[in-house]
Chain A
């Protein structure tokens, strides 16, 4: 079974500063993928970034980067230069490549509030 843990229920961050959102995972799958999604107050799920377990480099997408530490089973999201529009709920999720149906397993989320 797969498990995702996000230990920070909520965080404040000052505008223009960087913020790190923690995510740890547990899986028995030899190959897996890790995702981060943003959920603003409007409710939709917005894909941010993906990291494959065998990727050599940490993933980056614009202001988003993923600090992947495989031995520690962590996949922390770093948002640089925070903007007011970054205020949202952030979910870490995992997909086991071997898993039938390719489902995603989500963590409990971290609510980020960016202060001006």
Chain B
């Protein structure tokens, strides 16, 4: 069964450093998302991406965050200057067109900012 692949599975970074979280969505999916989950809390929407542009973003997704689909397969989330409160599990998800459901989540990247 097709999967959404996220790398790395765990990343530790120094406060103030830039990190790039990588995702390979399912190949025939057209909608892409990033969510985050602070430890023990609910899953929060960050951003959705369609047709090579952001279609919606949350209040969390401020100027420190950016997304790219650089080569037609990878989908990346960049955090420019990490803060301690960015420590969380980050999930990538993709969805095929023409369905009301059909979301597939990756296994997540656990980001720890020290």
A residues in contact (CB < 8 Å) with B: 33, 35, 37, 42-45, 47, 50, 52, 91, 93, 95, 97, 99-109
Contacts and interface: CB of A to CB of B under 8 A. Distances in A.
A44 B105 contact: yes
B91 A109 contact: no
A100 B42 contact: no
Nearest to B101: A50
Contacts of B93: 45, 104
A109 B42 contact: yes
A99 B95 CA distance: 15
Contacts of B89: 43
A106 B101 contact: no
B101 A45 contact: no
B91 A45 contact: yes
Contact of B48 (A33, A91, A93, A103): A103
Given A43-B110, A103-B48, A35 B101 contact: yes
A35 B42 CA distance: 14
B60 to A, nearest CB: 12
A21 B73 CA distance: 37
Nearest to B107: A44
B43 interface: yes
Given A91-B42, A103-B45, 20 more contacts: A35-B101, A37-B105, A42-B107, A43-B110, A44-B105, A44-B107, A45-B91, A47-B104, A50-B101, A52-B100, A95-B101, A100-B55, A101-B33, A102-B95, A103-B33, A104-B33, A106-B43, A106-B44, A108-B42, A109-B42
Contact of B50 (A93, A101, A106, A107): A101
